[in-house]
Amino acid sequence: MGLKELRKQADLTQVELAKRTGIARTIISSYETGRRDVRNMTLENALKISSALNCQPSDLMR
Which amino acid appears at position 58 of this protein?
A: S
Determine the pLDDT at residue 44: 97
Which structural domains are found in the chain, ordered by start?
Answer: 3-53 (1.10.260.40)
State the Cα–Cα distance between residues 42 and 21, nearest whole angstrom: 13
Q: How many CB atoms lie under 10 A from the CB of residue 22?
A: 10
Determine the pLDDT at residue 31: 96
38 in helix, strand or coil? helix
Determine the pLDDT at residue 62: 77
10-residue averages of pLDDT along the chain (62 residues): 94 98 98 95 97 95 82
Determine the pLDDT at residue 8: 97
Determine the pLDDT at residue 1: 80
State the Cα–Cα distance between residues 55 and 26, nearest whole angstrom: 21
